Chain A
Amino acid sequence: MKKVFRTLALLALTCSIGATAQASTPEEDLKAFQDFYKKRFPNVETSDYVNGAYSIDPVGRENWEAIEEFPPYEPFIDDGMTMWETPFANGKTYKDCFPDGPAMKGKFPHWDKEKGMVVTLELALNQCREANGEKPLKYKKGPINNIVSYIASESRGQLTNVEIPKDDPRALQAYEDGKKFYYTRRGQLNFACAHCHLQNAGMILRTEVLSPALGHTTHFPVYRSKWGTVGTLHRRFTGCNKQVRAKPFKAHGEEYRNLEYFLTYMSNGLPLNGPGARK
């Protein structure tokens, strides 16, 4: 009888080893992801991916460089600075929540062990507001884009460095959930994020060059001519999901937060250069 148990235990152990051996680690994912682009665009410097589609589209790049001479997101940065410095009704300011100052985008998104969730910059800003008796800002449109533009501009040059703490398995699970989201087909049109921005990056969809996912997170928020304003990464997620005819998820809800966690991790090592300007 004991023997049977031992064999069973051994079998179970072999199975679990087999399962873990199959799944790749975040480090392996990162390497495979970045290698894919190196192979596809051998002439593009890895650091240039922070420029999105313009890293691989020379014609678009010329127009974009002309736009960047008079950055359309500048007024948003200025308004954001005012927001940062204006005290809440209780006399405190954002600085009381973030004592290291506005140059802090490189710290987001991060795993918060206490809360047991991924915390994004926008979420942290709203938590700060609520802790000080202020109404949270709407996540997609409006003033949130001003303060995020200011913080992004102050954080330029910081390196993307998302950590997945090894001492909390829930952090790895959040990363895995984000990864699963990225590779899952969705909506009536049946596209995963990866179909456009990995598998077909650099190809032309009608007249648009599909941007590489590597570097996607570095330049947000972006002023998009199509929007006529600055918008956050989660607004863009929403738009992408709608385009594939899937019902979008809540901005800064669990799905998109984990997606941001995975996607930002994939750009680890790239400098932050937001806000950006896009078509």
Chain B
Amino acid sequence: MHKKLILLLTLLAAIVCGGTTTTLLADEASAAKVQKLIDAADAARKEAASVGGEWRDTGKMIKKAKKLLKKGDYTAAAKLANDAAKQGHLGYEQAMSQKDLKMPSYLHY
């Protein structure tokens, strides 16, 4: 009887503790994932800036994503980081697609 109870309690403890560790691990894993997304967004922003194509709000979005990450709001932080990365890529593309100046057709030479 006693043995059984101890066994049961140990099992229970193992489950509970195990559970906690998994959530903790999962927490760390998502934080690291979001941090990676933020780093990628910042790299994209810098790439756009290197060709003069950075957009107004990209840096602000990255700052906000960092704050959300600190608060533990991973979903919102990840979304913002992804949006910022997209802006970085688009800004870079925008500048590169106009590498060669094309004068407007309405100007007559």
Per the CB under 8 Å rule, do A and B touch in the complex? yes
Whether the pair B108, A247 counts as a contact (CB closer than 8 A) is no
User: A24 contacts B55, CB within 8 Å?
Assistant: no
Q: Nearest chain B CB to A237's CB is how many angstroms away?
A: 13
Q: A33-B107, A188-B87, A247-B49 are in contact. Are A183 and B101 (CB under 8 A)?
A: yes
Contacts of B55 in A (CB 8 A): 187-188, 245-247
Q: In the bound complex, what is the Cα–Cα distance between A24 and B101 (angstroms)? A: 11
B-facing residues in A127-186 (Cβ within 8 Å): 176, 179-180, 183-186
Interface residue tally on B, bucketed by range: 20 to 34
In the complex, number of A-B residue pairs with CB atoms less than 8 Å apart:
57
- In the complex, what's the smallest C-beta–C-beta distance from B7 to chain A, in angstroms? 63
User: What band does the interface of chain A fall in when counting residues whose beta carbon is under 8 Å from B?
Assistant: 20 to 34
Smallest beta-carbon distance A204→chain B, Å: 19
Q: What residues of chain A lie closer than 8 Å to B109, measured between beta carbons?
A: 24, 28, 31-32
CB distance from A212 to the nearest CB of B (A): 14
Partner of A32, one of B53, B59, B107: B107
**Complex interface: chain B residues within 8 A of A103 (CB):** none
The answer to whether A247 and B98 have CB atoms under 8 Å apart is no
- What distance in Å separates the Cβ of A47 from its nearest Cβ neighbour in chain B? 22
In the complex, A187→B95 CA distance in Å?
10
Decide: A36 and B56 in contact? CB cutoff 8 A.
no
Residue of B54, B101, B104 touching A247 (CB-CB under 8 A): B54
Judge whether B94 and A245 touch: CB under 8 Å.
no
CB pair B56 A245 closer than 8 Å: yes
Q: Is A74 an interface residue (CB 8 A)?
A: no
Q: How far is the CA of A229 from the CA of B21 in the complex (A)?
A: 60
Residue of B nearest to A23 (CB): B101
Partner of B104, one of A35, A180, A199, A248: A199
Contact between chains at B54 and A246 (CB < 8 Å) = yes
Distance of A176 Cα from B103 Cα, bound (Å): 12
Say whether A107 faces chain B, with CB atoms less than 8 Å apart.
no
> A61: CB under 8 A from chain B?
no
Residues of A contacting B94 with CB < 8 Å? 185-186, 190
Contact residue among B56, B58, B103 (Cβ-Cβ distance under 8 Å from A24): B103
A242 proximal to B (CB < 8 A): yes
Name B55-92 residues within 8 Å CB distance of A: 55-59, 87, 90
Quote the shortest CB–CB distance from B52 to chain A (angstroms): 7
- Cross-chain contact A255 with B98 (CB below 8 angstroms): no
Q: What are the residues of chain B within 8 A of A198 when measuring CB–CB?
A: 104, 106-107
B101 to chain A: closest residue by CB? A180
B106 touches A245 (CB 8 A): no
Please state if B101 and A199 are interface contacts (CB–CB under 8 Å).
no
Our pick among B57, B103, B108 for the contact of A183 (Cβ within 8 Å) is B103
Q: What are 30 inter-chain pairs, A to B, with CB distance below 8 A?
A: A24-B103, A24-B109, A28-B109, A32-B108, A33-B107, A35-B108, A36-B106, A36-B107, A176-B101, A179-B101, A180-B101, A183-B101, A184-B95, A184-B98, A184-B101, A188-B56, A188-B87, A188-B90, A194-B104, A198-B104, A198-B107, A199-B104, A241-B56, A245-B55, A245-B56, A245-B57, A246-B55, A247-B55, A247-B59, A255-B52
A residues neighboring B (CB under 8 Å): 24, 28, 31-33, 35-36, 176, 179-180, 183-188, 190, 194, 198-199, 241-242, 245-249, 255
Interface pairs A-B: 9 shortest CB-CB: A247-B54, A245-B56, A32-B107, A180-B101, A32-B109, A188-B55, A184-B98, A247-B56, A187-B55
Known: A183-B104, A199-B106, A247-B49. 16 other contacts (CB 8 A): A28-B109, A179-B101, A180-B101, A183-B101, A183-B102, A184-B98, A186-B94, A188-B56, A188-B57, A188-B87, A198-B107, A245-B55, A246-B54, A246-B55, A247-B55, A247-B59
